[in-house]
Amino acid sequence: MKTYLCSEVVRELSFRAQCRFARETGYDGLEVAPFTLGEAPHLIETARLHELRRIAESEGTTIGGLHWLLAVPPGLSITSSDRAVAARTREVGRRLVAMCVELGGHYLVHGSPAQRQVEPGREAEARSRALEYFAAMAEASREAGVCYIIEPLARADTTLVNSVDEALAMIAEIGASSLATMVDCYAAVANGEDIPALLKRWVPQGVICHVHFNDDNRRGPGEGGTDFRAILDTLERLDYSGDAAVEPFIYIPDGPTCAARAIAYLRGLAASRM
């Protein structure tokens, strides 16, 4: 299992410094949030993307993939009834798939809760529009040779796809092997799920290809009440070979310190099992 650092945690650093920081603190690379690269990341020219990839390589690290995909540009939504908004969102999504490839990544994590809000009483319509979006991303990802991951989120953040079961139901309806799902530790705990049990149920079926490590208080792993020793032990026993990333939402005292503490804690737990 490779463990990446979500780039927004250290967004105050230059991209080169982010890559160097990730390597020096023990991460396997970066999971890039596109909004950290600018207000219109989907329009970044190929030459610049290749330059970013070379920077990462020159710093001895890699870009695993992308996440938090639709924060910018403003006004995107996969559930909007506005056809123009839906078309623009799909176009941005396709361009981000292409961006992932140019950066050397192999997956995209679709969280973006603000861009998948559901109007009460119109749940079926919102889900139908989301299916259209994910079907378009499945095609783009298949052609690009990357995996597009539908992330179940906390019910407090969105009511669209809150469980692995719901994500898999969407994937089954679309019928695309380029789609997959994942476990976000904070979201799973917030929704009342037992993470080791969740992993035991789904990892052997080959449908979980990513895990976000964050604690129940939205801080880094090891800063709350989540039992990460049990989570890591379960992943090891299941011979999990997918990816993971550290994605806290609250950084105390700051992003770099939080990120360094998180990977030291996870690596320490891993070492203590040997």
Which tens digits make up the pLDDT trace of 175-201?
999 999 999 999 999 999 999 999 999
152: DSSP letter: P
Question: Using CA atoms, how far apart are residues 164 and 181, in angstroms rounded to an integer?
Answer: 7
Mean pLDDT of the chain: 97
Check: CB of residue 135 under 8 Å from CB of residue 176: yes
Q: In the chain, count of helices (H) and strands (E)?
A: 9, 8
pTM above 0.75, yes or no: yes
Q: Which residues of the chain are modeled with pLDDT < 70?
A: 274
Question: Using CA atoms, how far apart are residues 75 and 49, in angstroms rounded to an integer?
Answer: 24
Q: Is 247 buried (19+), middle (13-18) or exposed (0-12) by CB count in 10 A?
A: buried
List of residues 6+ apart from 16 with CB closer than 8 A = 55, 59
pLDDT digits (tens, 9 = 90+) for 30-70: 999 999 999 999 999 999 999 999 999 999 999 999 999 99
Instruction: Give the residue among 214, 77, 62, 208 at the shortest CA–CA distance from 147.
Output: 208
Cis, bond preceding 152 (omega within 30 deg of 0): no
Angle made by CA atoms 253, 108, 161, in degrees to the nearest 5: 85
Alpha-carbon Rg for the chain, nearest whole angstrom, is 18
Check: CB of residue 259 under 8 Å from CB of residue 10: yes
Q: Is 69 buried (19+), middle (13-18) or exposed (0-12) by CB count in 10 A?
A: buried
List of residues 6+ apart from 20 with CB closer than 8 A = 59, 61
Provide the CB-side half-sphere exposure for 86 (13 A, CA).
Answer: 17
Domains of the chain: 2-272 (3.20.20.150)
Question: Using CA atoms, how far apart are residues 262 and 266, in angstroms rounded to an integer?
Answer: 6
